[in-house]
A and B are shown apart, each in its own frame.
Chain A
Amino acid sequence: MMAGKIETQTEIPKNENLIGLEKNDYRGRETSLCQGCGHNSISSQIIAACYEMSIQPEKVIKMSGIGCSSKSPAYFLSRSFGFNALHGRMPATATGAIMVNNTLKAIGVSGDGDTASIGLGHFKHLVRRNVPMTYIIENNGVYGLTKGQFSATADKGQELKKVGVNPFMPVDICMEALIANAGFVARSFAGDPKQVKELLKAALSFDGTAVLDIISPCVTFNNRDESTKSYAWGRKYEEPLHDVTWVPEREEIKVDYEPGNVIDVEMHDGSQIVLKKLEKDYNPTDRIAALKMLEETCCGGVLVTGLIYFNKEQPPLDAIENLVETPLSRLTEKELRPSAQSLQELMQRFH
């Protein structure tokens, strides 16, 4: 056995997961995005992660805004409920839906225009409230559906054929999430499907807002080699902070590693994220260090990926609101309408 290799006892049945579903049960409609679009690769990993985690698809809600990324929920998990709402406003619809049914797993899919421009305020307030959901940003630095304008995550000085040179500094979505006190902040690259899948699994096991900023190249408008949002650039300059593996609760972790080489993070649902050290030490529980790392690498010619920050101590919004166990959306008249006598008593107060 190689040092650092993680083995588990899992034996996935050939075509079925633990709840008896096949991978096909997790697929969506045929994509209408461009061939080679990073978003399609992410959709595949969402399908794989949900299948492998044996998530009941009917218990998932897929929330999105407007844009190429926001169309993608139609292309995975057809047996899940989807809501393709308004540009930048997915955080609001997701908050409402989750608060009235917190037994559902929510996957939000957004883009850099949706999250970093028109919806930046909503995004930060969703994070601030710690709404329990996986919030994916498929980040390509460009507006695709409107044919190639810069987004707010485009690099300063970048040139695009249609619109010229971008004079503004980019919005760093991970940094915004950290400043808004997110408890789970990760960055990945659509060209690194294994890492995307492991981080997705970790995010889906987190019980607050899990922010997953995935660099997802736009093959049509922003994939020239010198663009930091291109496949070529990502492949060349990706620097993972660690090797990420998500291990479900039911599996015993068998790890063979040198002491100090692995950080093992336990989630609320009993699953674990195992982070194997690569070249440098990185502690994902130090918020200031995370911000510092992002600041130092933002224009430094590297694409740092991995679990940037983790803190499971903050209560999610549904816990703060002290909700009854039955989802609010499933309460009946008996629980919802106070008695006639209570109204009579109340009326006495206004005499």
Chain B
Amino acid sequence: MTEAVEKHERSRDARSIINDFSMIVASVNGSGSQTSNMALIRALFRMGIPVNGKNLFPSNIQGLPTWFTIRASSKGYTARREAVELLVGMNHATFLEDLEGLVEGGVCFYPDHFSKPEVRPDVVYYPMPVNQIIKDVDPPRDLRDYMSNMVYVGVVAEMIGIEIEAVRDALDTHFRGKTKPIELNMSVVEAAAKWAHENLTKRDPYRVERDDQTEGMIILDGNTAGALGAVYGGVSFSAWYPITPASSLADALISYLPQLRKDPETGKQTYAVIQAEDELAAIGMAVGAGWAGARSMTSTSGPGISLMAEFSGLAYFAEIPVVIWDVQRMGPSTGMPTRTSQGDLLFVRYLGHGDTEQIVLLPGSIAECFEFGWRAFDYAERLQAPIFILSDLDLGMNLWMSEPFKYPDHPMDRGKVLTAEDLEKVDEFARYRDVDGDGIPYRTLPGTNHPKAAYFTRGTGHDDRAIYSERPEDYEANMERIFRKLETARGLLPEPVIEQGSSHEIGLISFGSTDPAIQEARDRLAETGIETDYMRIRAIPFSDEVDGFVKNHERLYVIEMNHQGQMHKLLQLNSPDHASKLVSMTHNNGLPMSARWITAQIEAKEMDS
């Protein structure tokens, strides 16, 4: 019997709460707690326990408070939870405030050079001799601050039953097998665990036990997932400009493209990634590359989308394939750059002056970030249009469990492109002519060596041969065709995910990262006797199922993270005869959605109805 198991058996009692808690690590931004938090969450994951990690961080390089939340859930719930049972209080400035957030009878780990707080006598305190342990282990001087964060990893692991080998596995993944940092960090973890074993007595009920619920699963952030999707979708050009919370998507492209997309013989690149001078240029380059025939993308957040409005309208009207990721953050304006939101929906949907309706994909999980990441290029090239993918900070930057990503299940769709050989067979090539009746014209790629191939791309009014025109009938015919193309898009884009019972009374509607909170809330509501159906929308323009779901229910709650109820408005426009059945429920304070908020709202509204 290992020491850990022995100790675990020893302290187990009827009061134990197994694999169900939220823990907050409160620290100072820039102090190097990230590695420690990764080690804890990955270790839990390695033990087969469902987890989710959320970093609540300030827009700051160093010095401001930051909180990392780890939720373990035996039922597999991954949404933000409002109750916090365990606190690792490493930030003196917020210590008392952090303590106030703990549940009755919660647990607090803190460095013993903080004085023991005189509030919250209900809390179980575990002081940690951080400085002494670091002094004893004596890591290199320049790494001391970072290493001192590993003390809480060791103490927490020992006190709640995380296996030390799982911590080692987690560090092995984090440092990609580099022995030196793994051993250095483990020396602190082991010393801290040993100290806790010898000096602390377990006085709280929160424990973890090995489970088998993460077998074969992966844990990852949505921005990396989206970037990998793009890589497997064959992205060959990306231009971007740094912005929180989208930068890590471009970072992931820059990190994975060299591993996956170099010519094996010459070592040369089958891609180019350019950091542009601003978002205007980032999308401009992406549009230029899409025009020239490449699978092209850019990634940004709200303020960047504002700058991209001009080119989005051009790409829409000149019908150029391009993929645009919007990892949403809190607006308006600079807003709260490090807080999550779904506030760009209406803006992106109608991005561009004049009559512009953009195509929007709405991934609700990291697996969908990957899937939509590659599918978006097929849609862009098939529909000859910008494709927007609306993610958000919570989905993009936090750690989520997932089944491993599925390899694309069909060959690339490069859309309607005429080659020189094709041009030989046609009498005339007219760039914007609706030959097939689906609103989608044919295009040629620059450089196609045929006298009929060339055409002149413009954002000005044009006839079906792409020639400048101000004739009213040319303008109308072109606009009607573009909207016919959007009708074609309805049947092509991802359909909503619908979970339908038999009652047809209450329907919940959502999109994007709120999905885990809604799943959890539906279970809780069912326990109190409120059965709900659920539709998660995955693309705009809406497919027919969306209107069908609205028609089929008596009351529909549209749950989203913005102030205006933006999806609610779009749904009312889409189902005007049923508009009064749609009830808007908006959560808009920068924090991810929680199940408790949803259940409270619905219970209150159902009591009224």
Contact A328 B454 (CB under 8 A): no
Chain B interface: which of A81-89, A149-157, A218-226, A239-247?
Answer: A81-89
Tell me whether A92 and B276 are in contact in the complex, defined as CB-CB below 8 angstroms, given that A86-B459, A122-B281, A342-B260 are known contacts: yes
Q: Which residues of B have CB within 8 Å of A57?
A: 454
**Interface pair A99/B280, CB less than 8 Å apart:** no
Within 8 A of A (CB), among B224-242: 228, 231-234, 236-237, 239
Contact check, A89 vs B239: say whether CB atoms are below 8 A apart.
no
* Interface pair A329/B277, CB less than 8 Å apart: no
Which A residues touch B293, using CB under 8 A?
100-101, 329-330
Contact A343 B272 (CB under 8 A): no
Most chain B Cβ neighbours within 10 Å, of A57, A61, A74: A61
Give 25 A-B contacts (CB < 8 Å), ordered by A residue: A29-B467, A57-B454, A58-B451, A74-B456, A74-B468, A81-B446, A91-B284, A92-B283, A95-B239, A95-B274, A95-B285, A96-B287, A96-B296, A99-B237, A99-B285, A122-B284, A323-B268, A324-B263, A324-B269, A330-B445, A335-B270, A336-B261, A336-B412, A337-B412, A346-B228
Determine if A351 and B454 form an interchain contact, defined as CB atoms under 8 angstroms apart: no
CB atoms of A59 and B449 under 8 A apart: yes
Chain A hits for B218, CB < 8 A: 347, 350-351
A92 to B449, CA, bound (A): 25
Shortest B269–chain A CB gap in Å is: 5
Knowing A83-B457, A92-B281, A343-B232 touch, does A97 contact B263 (C-beta < 8 A)?
A: no
A337 & B268 in contact (Cβ 8 Å cutoff): no
Contact with A along B459-498 (1 / 0, CB 8 A): 1100000011000000000000000000000000000000
| Known pairs A100-B237, A342-B260; A89 contacts B280 (CB<8 A) | yes
| Known interface pairs A84-B456, A89-B281; A94-B405 also in contact (CB < 8 Å) | no
Q: Cβ of B44 < 8 Å from any Cβ of A?
A: no
Given contacts A335-B263, A347-B218, contact A327 B272 (CB under 8 A): no
Chain B interface residue count, Cβ-Cβ cutoff 8 angstroms: 73
The answer to whether the Cβ of B181 comes within 8 Å of any Cβ in the partner chain is no
Which residue of A104, A322, A329, A342 is within 8 Å of B269 (Cβ)?
A: A322
CA distance A324 to B270 in the complex (A): 6
CB-based A-B contact count at 8 angstroms: 220
Report, as a range, how many residues of chain A touch the other chain. 35 or more
Contact B288 A92 (CB under 8 A): yes
Residues of A within 8 A of B (CB): 29, 56-59, 61, 63, 73-74, 78-86, 89, 91-101, 103-104, 121-122, 125, 129, 321-325, 327-331, 333, 335-338, 340, 342-344, 346-347, 349-351
> B383 contacts the other chain (Cβ, under 8 Å)?
no
Are A329 and B289 in touch, CB under 8 angstroms?
yes
Contact A93/B285 with A324-B270, A325-B268, A333-B411 known, Cβ cut-off 8 Å? yes
| Nearest neighbor of A80 in chain B, beta-carbon distance | B454
Tell me whether B457 and A97 are in contact (CB under 8 A): no
Asked if B270 and A321 make an inter-chain contact with CB atoms under 8 angstroms apart, the answer reads no
Closest Cβ–Cβ distance, residue A269 to chain B (whole Å): 18
Q: Which residue of A lies closest to B289 (CB)?
A: A96
Q: How far is the CB of A319 from chain B (nearest CB, A)?
A: 11
A81 touches B447 (CB 8 A): yes
Residue of B nearest to A122 (CB): B281
- Do B274 and A101 touch across chains, with their CB atoms under 8 A apart? no
Contacts of B412 in A (CB 8 A): 333, 336-337
Contact with A along B256-277 (1 / 0, CB 8 A): 1000110100101111101011
**Residue B311 is within 8 A (CB to CB) of chain A in the complex:** yes
Tell whether B453 is near chain A: CB-to-CB under 8 Å.
yes
Inter-chain contact A96/B269, CB cutoff 8 Å: no
**Within the assembled complex, what's the spacing in Å between the Cα atoms of A318 and B408?**
30
Q: Are B280 and A338 in contact (CB under 8 A)?
A: no
Contact A331 B232 (CB under 8 A): no
B260, B292, B311, B467: the one contacting A97 at CB < 8 Å is B292
Docked CA distance A291–B460 (Å): 39
Chain B residues whose C-beta falls within 8 Å of the C-beta of A324 in the assembled complex: 263, 266, 268-270
Q: Which residues of A sit under 8 angstroms from B404, Cβ to Cβ?
A: 344, 347, 350
What residues of chain B lie closer than 8 Å to A350, measured between beta carbons? 218-220, 404
Residues of chain B with a CB closer than 8 A to A338's CB: 231-232, 260-261
Chain A residues with Cβ under 8 A from B407's Cβ?
340, 343
Cα of A58 to Cα of B451 in the assembled complex, Å: 7
Please tell me if the beta carbons of B236 and A329 are within 8 angstroms of each other in the complex.
Answer: yes
Of B288, B408, B449, B456, the contact of A82 (CB 8 Å cutoff): B456
Closest-CB distance, B147 to chain A (whole angstroms): 25
Q: Is B295 on the interface with A (CB-CB < 8 A)?
A: yes
CA gap between A111 and B232 in the complex, in Å: 41
* Closest chain A CB from B472 CB (angstroms): 19
A93 and B284 form a contact (CB under 8 A): yes
By a CB distance below 8 angstroms, the chain A residues around B261 are 336, 338
Closest 4 CB pairs of A and B: A92-B284, A96-B288, A336-B234, A329-B293
- B173: interface (CB < 8 Å): yes
Q: B207-224: contact bitstring with A at CB < 8 Å (1 yes, 0 no)?
A: 000000000111110000
- Given A73-B456, A74-B456, A322-B269, are A93 and B468 neighbors across the interface (CB < 8 Å)? no
Which residue of the partner chain, among B277, B408, B445, contacts A125 with CB atoms under 8 Å?
B277
- In Å, the complex CA distance between A94 and B289 comes to 8
Mark out the residues of chain B between 123 and 141 whose CB falls within 8 Å of any chain A CB in the assembled complex.
none
CA distance A338 to B270 in the complex (A): 11
Which interface residue of B269, B281, B311, B449 has the most chain A CB atoms within 10 A?
A: B281
Are A100's CB and B272's CB within 8 A? yes
Given contacts A84-B459, A338-B231, contact A97 B291 (CB under 8 A): yes
Q: Which of A96, A321, A323, A327 has the most CB of B within 10 A?
A: A96
B567 contacts A by Cβ under 8 Å: no
Interface membership of B363, Cβ < 8 A: no
Cβ contacts under 8 Å, B219 to chain A: 350-351
Q: Residue on B with the closest CB to A32?
A: B468
Complex alpha-carbon distance, A157 and B458, angstroms: 37
- With A96-B286, A333-B411, A351-B218 given, is the CB distance from A101 to B446 under 8 Å? yes
Docked complex Cα distance between A74 and B466 (Å): 11
Contact B447 A101 (CB under 8 A): yes
Give the most central of A79, A80, A325, A329: most B CB within 10 Å: A329
Bound CA–CA A321/B450 (angstroms): 29
Bound together, the chains give a CA A78 to CA B293 distance in angstroms of 20
Interchain CB contact (< 8 A) of A91 among B256, B263, B281, B310:
B281
Assess whether A125 is in contact with B450, with CB atoms less than 8 Å apart: no
The answer to whether A125 and B281 touch across the interface, beta carbons within 8 angstroms, is: yes
Q: Which residue of B lies closest to A90 (CB)?
A: B284
Contact A84–B445 (Cβ < 8 Å) = no
Known: A121-B277, A335-B263. A96 touches B239 (CB 8 A): yes
